Structure 1
Amino acid sequence: MARHFYSCPLRWSDMDAFGHVNNAVFISYLEEARIDFMFRLAPGDGSPSFSGGSVVARHEIDYKRPLVHRHQPVTVESWVTKINAASLTIAYEIKDGDQVYVRASTVVVPYDLEAARPRRISAEEKAHLLRYLDDGADGKDDDGKDALAA
Structure 2
Amino acid sequence: MDAFGHVNNAVFVRYLEEARIDFMRRLAPGGGSPSFTGGSVVARHEIDYVRPLVHRPAPVTIEMWVTKISAASMTVGYEVKDEDNLYLRASTVVVPYNFSEERPRRLTVEEKTVLKEYLADASHQDGAVAV
Same fold (TM over 0.5): yes
Moved over 6 A (4+): none
Determine whether 1:68 maps to 2:63. Answer: no
Distance 1:86 1:19, change over 3 A: same
Q: TM-score, normalised by structure 1?
A: 0.77
Q: Does 1:38 align with 2:24?
A: yes
Offset from partner CA, 1:13-60 (integer Å, 9 cap, x none):
xx1111110111100010011001111332234432121100000000
Paired residues, number = 123
2:101 matches 1:112: no
> Which residue in the other structure is 2:107 paired with?
121
Residue 25 (str. 1) matches residue 11 (str. 2): yes
Question: Aligned with 2:9: secondary structure?
Answer: coil
Alpha-carbon distance between aligned partners in 1 of 2:23 and 2:86, rounded to the nearest angstrom: 20
- SS of equivalent to 1:24: helix
Percent identity over the alignment is: 72
**Of 94, 97, 100, which residue of structure 1 is paired with 2:80?**
94
Contact 1:43 1:124 in 2 (8 A): no
Residue matched to 2:36: 50
Counterparts of 2:51 and 2:80 in 1: how far apart (Å)?
A: 11
List runs of 5+ in structure 2 lacking aligned partners: 124-131
Note the aligned Cα RMSD (angstroms): 1.6
